[in-house]
Amino acid sequence: MTPQGSSSVVFSGIASASDFWDWFTSSFLSIMYSGSDGTEAYTLASHTIILGGFHIWQTRYAALNFSDPENKGSSCYSDTPLLQNKTCYSTKQEAKENFGVSNGSDASKAELLSLEMFSYSTDNDSDISGYQTFFLRSTTNGVDELAKAALMQQYGWIDRQTKQVAIILSLYNPTLRVMSIVYLTIDFNLAGGVIPSSDVLVLNLEPYDFYVKKNIVRGILEAIFVGHVVYFAMIEIWDVCVLSGGNYRVVSVASSSLPHTRQCLTSAAIV
């Protein structure tokens, strides 16, 4: 892969938090808004439209206290004097607190909230899909996003407690008539390792583009075929469960016994 924008980092080469910020600000956001005409801020390479912007969020390791009795039986509890009232990051739990709560300071939380681009929820079962979620939106050609991304880095949006950063894009290419869902993840482990991964779901919409005459004919023929199948299926059900009075015979080829009769339980179910 070749780096895009002014970044020297490709997505698959992200190996640290600084690499992520370099790629995110100088590559991802750079190509995200290149070719924008000012009226459609979510245009990628002048061809692919981002539907509704992009969604980015982070999950965080739970910050536990070594002295907390509730942590007994786990690796985050210890009687060692040097560890008393010290923080332990758990790989088995995810944080439900906003920024700043775990480290005893609200500075980071206040700074990030000042960007007015976050929606918080401490309920992991909420409709927000996680305790900490936000959308980047735009009324410009990316100037606001670049400025906010720089502040995100400055305010420490990614820190020691970060477990995973995920980015989701819904894309549509009107030229190729293809819709894509792109899911990018960057996993941060407590040992300092960083692992990027990606998944792409592609849906070809061309066969059902009814602006093309041949697809109108195809759609009509497919509808006739489906109707044909449904019609004859209903005829079979009618013959077996209505005209036969609800009785039909099952003949066992492997058995010498006489055919026996079964009862249709419903008009829509055949044993």
Q: Is the pLDDT of residue 247 over 60?
A: no
Token representation of residue 20: 């992520």
* HEC profile of the chain: CCCCCCCCCCHHHCCCHHHHHHHHHHHHHHHHCCCCCCCCCCEECCCEEEEEEEEEEEEEEEEEECCCHHHCCCCCCCCCHHHCCCEEEEEEEECCCCCCCCCCCCHHHHHHHCCCCEEECCCCCCCCCCCEEEEECCCCCCHHHHHHHHHHHHCCCCCCCEEEEEEEEEEEECCCCEEEEEEEEEEECCCCCEEEEEEEEEEECHHHCCCCHHHHHHHHHHHHHHHHHHHHHHHHHHHHHHHCCCEEEECCCCCCCCCEEEECCECCECC
Q: Name which of 169, 161, 97 is nearest 130 in CA terms.
A: 97
Of the two residues 182 and 34, the one the predictor is more confident about is 182
pLDDT band at 187; cut points 50, 70, 90:
very high
Q: Is the pLDDT of residue 121 over 70?
A: no
Q: Is the pLDDT of residue 35 over 60?
A: no
Q: Which long-range contacts (CB under 8 A, 24 or more apart) does 3-6 make?
A: 3/27, 4/30, 4/31, 5/29, 5/30, 5/31, 6/30
Question: The pTM is what?
Answer: 0.65
- Tally of CA atoms within 13 A in the half-sphere of 89 that contains its CB: 14
Q: What are the CA-CA distances from residue 28 to residues 91, 155, 236 (Å)?
A: 29, 20, 58
How does pLDDT run across 56-114, given as a tens digit for each residue? 888 888 888 899 888 888 888 998 888 898 888 888 888 776 665 545 455 667 777 77
pLDDT band at 253; cut points 50, 70, 90:
very low
- Count of CB atoms within 10 A of residue 80's CB? 8
The residues facing 181 across adjacent strands are 170, 201
Q: Which residue in this structure is represented by tokens 């390792």?
A: 193
Q: Is the pLDDT of residue 132 over 60?
A: no
pLDDT band at 255; cut points 50, 70, 90:
very low
Average pLDDT in the 210-221 region?
A: 77
| CA 44/CA 253 separation, integer angstroms | 65
Q: Which residue in this structure is represented by tokens 């990051």?
A: 89
Q: Do 74 and 108 form a contact (C-beta atoms < 8 A)?
A: no
pLDDT at 93: 85
Q: Are strands 178-188 and 162-173 parallel, antiparallel or unpaired?
A: antiparallel
pLDDT at 242: 63
